[in-house]
Amino acid sequence: MFAVQFDRFGGPEVLAIGPAADPHPGPGEVRINVRTVGVSPVDIALRAGASPSRDSLALPHIPGVDAAGVIDEVGAGVDGFSAGDEVFGSVDVARLGGASAQFAVLAFWAAKPASMSWEEAGAAGTSVETATRALDLLGVGEGTTLLIDGAAGGVGSVAVQLATARGARVIGTARPESHTFLAGLGAIPVAYGPGLAERVRALGAGPVGLALDVAGAGALEELIALTGGPAAVVTLADFTGPGRGVRLSRGQYGGEPDGRHGLAAAAALSSRGRFRVPVREVFPAARAAEAHAAAIRGPRQGKIVIDLAGMPGGD
195 belongs to the binding site for ligand NAP (CB under 6 A): no
Task: Give whichever of 75 and 251 is closer to ligand NAP, judged by the CB atom.
Answer: 251
Q: CB 286 → ligand NAP: shortest distance, Å?
A: 23
Task: Give whichever of 214 and 311 is closer to ligand NAP, judged by the CB atom.
Answer: 214
Site for ligand NAP in 246-265 (CB under 6 A): 249-251
Site for ligand NAP in 66-95 (CB under 6 A): none
Task: Give whichever of 71 and 147 is closer to ligand NAP, judged by the CB atom.
Answer: 147
Q: 241 to each of 41, 218, 275, how far by Cα in Å?
A: 19, 10, 30
User: Which residue stretches of 82-241 are H helix?
Assistant: 93-96, 118-138, 154-165, 179-185, 196-202, 220-227
> What is the SS3 assignment for 222?
helix
Q: Nearest residue to ligand NAP, using CB?
A: 153
Give the angle 155-210-167 at the CA atoms, nearest 5°. Answer: 75
Site for ligand NAP in 266-305 (CB under 6 A): 298-300
Considering only residues 12, 89, 97, 153, which one is a binding residue for ligand NAP as defined by CB under 6 A? Answer: 153
User: Is 146:171 a contact under the CB 8 Å cutoff?
Assistant: yes
Task: Give whichever of 220 and 236 is closer to ligand NAP, judged by the CB atom.
Answer: 236
Query: Site for ligand NAP (CB under 6 A): how many residues?
Result: 30
User: Is 173:190 a contact under the CB 8 Å cutoff?
Assistant: yes
> What distance in Å separates the CA atoms of residue 122 and residue 65, rounded to the nearest whole number?
9
Task: Give whichever of 151 and 289 is closer to ligand NAP, judged by the CB atom.
Answer: 151
Write out the DSSP string of 6-63.
Answer: BSS--SGGG-EEEE-PPP---TT-EEEEEEEEEE-HHHHHHHHT-STTGGG--SSB--
How many residues are there in the chain? 315
Judged by CB under 6 A, the stretch of 26-34, 40-48, 51-59, 84-92 that binds ligand NAP is 40-48
Write out the residues near ligand NAP by the rule CB under 6 A. 40-42, 126, 130, 149-150, 152-156, 173-175, 178, 192-193, 214-217, 236-237, 249-251, 298-300
